Structure 1
C-alpha cells in the first residue's frame, strides 16, 4: 500500500524567501524541472500512481500534474482540497524571512517556522478568491500553528487517504512544507517537541509502505 508524499517544486516565494501560506504563487522554472524529475524517479522505481490528492494552491496542483504526466498517469482521479494547503502564516504572509529575522530575532522566527504550537500574528481579514466560497467561513483560519494545521490535515488522512490505501491503491499526496510536516508527525508518531527536526525538501518523494493496520513497514526517500 504505497503512499507517496511530496512537497511542491520550488515556488516563486521559495526563491524570493518570503512567507507564502495560502497565497497562491507559481512554480519557478526550476520548480517545474524538479517536479518532472520527481515524477521520472517515481516511475523508474516501478510505482504506478492510481490517484492524487493536492491542495487548492497552484504550486501543488502544477507539481502533481507534472508528476502524473511523467508517470503516464495524467488520467487518474485528482482530488483538490484546502486541507492540504500550506500552514496559514497570518500577518507574516508576503513578508521576507530575512527581514523578519532582523526585526524579531532568529529565535522568534524559528518558532514561527518550526514550532508546534506557535501561532503567527493573525490577519484581521482574509482576501481570498472563489475557491473558498463553499467552505464554511469558520474553518478558514487567520493564522495557524503547526498543531492547528495538523488538526485539518488528519481528517483528510483518516477519512479519504487511508481507505484508498487499504483498497490497495498507490496514492500520491502533493502538499506543502507544513501540511506534510504535520501529516508525517502524525503517521510516524513524532513527539511534538521534535517536529522541528522533520525536514521536507522541495520535490523529494517520501514513499511509505503500510500493513493492514496502517503501521509503517518501510520508508524511503528519493
Structure 2
C-alpha cells in the first residue's frame, strides 16, 4: 500500500453483524400494531439497509401514511425491547472473523475505518458499545442525518470528514443499495456475499468476496488489483 490515507466504509447489518432475527421479529411486530400481516422473510430482508421510513413504505405501499408511521414506531419499540432483553452480542452478533478483520485493518497505519448505515445514531451507538468497538470508526454516517441509501450523502460526508479522495475510498456492503450508493458517490464498492442480498444483485461491485479473509486481502494486499 502507498502512504496515502485510504478509507474503508462499512455497512453494518448483513455486513458486520447478523441482525436478521431481530429485524424480522421487529418488523412483524410493527405490522401487527396495525393489524396487518407482515411481508415474507425475503421481502423484509430485501429492504435492510434502507432508512426505516423508506423501508416500510416499500413494504406497505397500499397503507396510509399514518399506518406506516405506526409500523415504524412499532418496529422501533420491538427492536429496542429485543435488544434490551438479549443484549447486543446475542441480538446482533458479529459475523465470524469480523472482529479479527477489523482489528487487522485498524492496525494498518494508512487505513481509516468508517460506517455508513441505515441505523439511527442511537442504534449504532448501542451496537458499537455492545461489541466494544468504540474508537474503531473515525466517521459514522447514520439515517438520522442523511437521505436513505442509495443517495450518496452518507459517503460524501464520510469523505469530507476524513479528507480522503474518492479514489482512495471503498464502500463494503451486502446490498444493492450499498453498491448503488458507492457508484453515485464515485467510489469503488466491494460486495460481500454472506449478507441479505443475493450475489447477483450486487451489480456494479468492483469485487465480490465470500469471507472476511478474502475481504482483508482485497483491502490490503490487493488494493490496486481490483480498482
TM-score by length of 1: 0.40
Please report the TM-score for the alignment, with normalisation by the length of structure 2: 0.39
Bigger relative contact order, structure 1 or 2, given CA contacts below 8 A and separation 6+? Answer: 1
